[in-house]
Structure 1
Amino acid sequence: MVQTLMLSGCWDRNEINDYAFWIGTALDLSDNGKLQKSAQIAVPADFKSIRGGGGNNQRANIVLTATGSTIGDLTQQIQDKLPRKVFLGHRRSIFIGEKLARKGLIDVMDQFTRNTDTRLRTDIFVVNNGEGKEVLHINSPFNQFSSIVAVDQDRYCRLGDTALRDVLIDVGRDGIRPSMPMVEISPMNPQEKGKIFDVRSVAIFNKHLQMVGEVSGRESLELFWVKGVLKNQFVTEEIEEGSISLYESNLKQTIRTRFDGNKLKAYVKLVGTGRVLDNNTDIDLSVSTERNHIENKLNTIKAKRVEETIKKLQTQFGQDVFGIGEEFHREHPYQWKELRNRWDDIFPTVEVAVEVKLNIQSTGDIRKRIVRKGDKGEKE
């Protein structure tokens, strides 16, 4: 009797060579008002490893662009240009042109919430005064994929780590409005053109996911500190005696709210530790009394400045990107029912007081300042 041996196999499996790895996405608004989508696709034959340098002239990726009316249609148009099946599981960044951001992102975000291939940890940025696809064409000397460079740079640029998940969570809540880091691609000098971009500003959105403005520099750091996103920063503080540079870490915040008659009040407390990097004053910070005096002075200056930043966002944009409304919701759930639908009108009227408690725990390896020639205390 002849026996037949049946062998089963994975006849429907996809080999890795069947995929086109989608590393970065750019979304823009074309001149005729259509939605434009660009994809940074890895070219395996042109790179040795994902962490390799991109300093050579040969790019390890290709940027494909399609124009249409829906995200799904644009994705299919890009797929039509590729001999492999697109795979979104490795996408690291999404770049949104400012023109599209100001028009609104509700329709764009809807697709991200429905596509099961979307990684919610994907970082998201707005391109300041530019288009998202411009960032995809950046040929960084540090990595062959500008989408990965943006993720790493966002981690070290002090503006925290804003992912698609964070934006979607903020969109779904009534007491906070979304914010996103902004990429600046204008070069500071010819050597940086096409190779370097900055992450130093924050885009402010309303509840309809329309960008209404931006803050940059120190104000953007203070925004994220109050929001609870900022973890560390390098700052230089100017006082009457000179300037002091600090590395501030372990940054945290607490917000408390209360009703005072018809007025709503919020109390923000910011805490952290500091390490002195540069002391351009004649103050000996190794002496505890002197150090405490400087701590109090710096904390007072910081508190006043943060209050000014909050007031600016209240009056200029009227959007609660700090999450103060969420604290009212948490602490006063019954009263919040009367506030939630009017929060954009109420937030600018909230009185906010800020307290900063930053402790200088380290004055550096050399505790005393180097004495200049002719300074008091120099040995004769």
Structure 2
Amino acid sequence: MKRTMLLVLVGAIVMCSLPFLIVGLFSSGSRYYLHLVIQTLIWAQIYTAWALMGRFGLTSLGHGAFTGVGAYVTVMLWNWFGLSPLVGIPISIVLAVILAVMIGYPSFMQRIKGHYFALLTLALVEFVRLCIVGLRDYTGGSLGTQPQRYGDGLSFFAVQFETNRFVAYFVVLVIWTFTLIVWQKLNNSMDRQALEAINEDEDAAAAAGINVTYEKLKVTMISAALTALGGAIFAQYQMYIAPESISGLNVSLSIVFGVVAGGIGVLLGPTVGAILTQSLSEGLRVFAQSSAWLTENLGTRALSLDGIIYGVLLLLFIIYMPKGIVGTLLSSRKKQK
């Protein structure tokens, strides 16, 4: 227990000191590197929210729908009605939870699971994306849109941190930490044991007195709420959203890949997965821009190569490292002991 508390304390000190270390080490490019860290933390929070469901066999390919609802509802309420994101974000979370109930309740009542549930959620994300594109007069369609800037770009009322990435970092850090706490609370609760039993055998779990539909629906609602929160924060930080960047199928698949790669059943697994995916995406972007051959032969299509690489790596992780990076390291450590 003392060792765990010490590790948590050291981790907290490191995370709180990180932006200052970045400024000290990269004085000229500190804004760029801090941006990468913030972006990684946002996706780490979203990945962790997905893992709340995914670790119990509830494989959703539709979490891009919840990030899209979180982002677009918040931005639309601000742009069209002047409603502060402090109010808009809770509204978007409620709508995401309602959407989760609408898709989850009938699915769980009808005992739809496995690849059928995955296909159902896949249809959900495409439905939300098409709604965003179809309502182009309000959402900007496939071209995307951005929140209207308030004042000098730094406002608590408008939840905008464009001119101060230190503020953005600590806001995102708090949200990421909160999501980790939710993950850990669930992991230490009776709900985890119930969900594990349901994942093994629904009939046996129901015979033991577990309310299968209630348990599955509860974790789905929590996961959807936290995912929508991440989507809303992404929109407020990036100050630009588009269907393909926050609500497309690629978003859902990258979430799944990141969690599987990092370790679906480990607290920091999704965070490690986010570091991997963001490093891969940014590294490919820089390489594509600096490579004359890729620019001449593929043009902007080179930037979409990350999807192909994700697919290949996902297969390799599933075959050779099913527990993910963190899970495999922990298992190896236990074997050595």
Normalising by structure 2, we get a TM-score of 0.23
User: Relative to total residues, which structure has the larger helix share, 1 or 2?
Assistant: 2
Q: Point out the structure with max Rg over C-alpha.
A: 1
**Higher RCO (C-alpha 8 Å, min separation 6):** 2
Query: Greater share of strand residues, 1 or 2?
Result: 1
Give TM-score, length-normalised by structure 1.
0.21
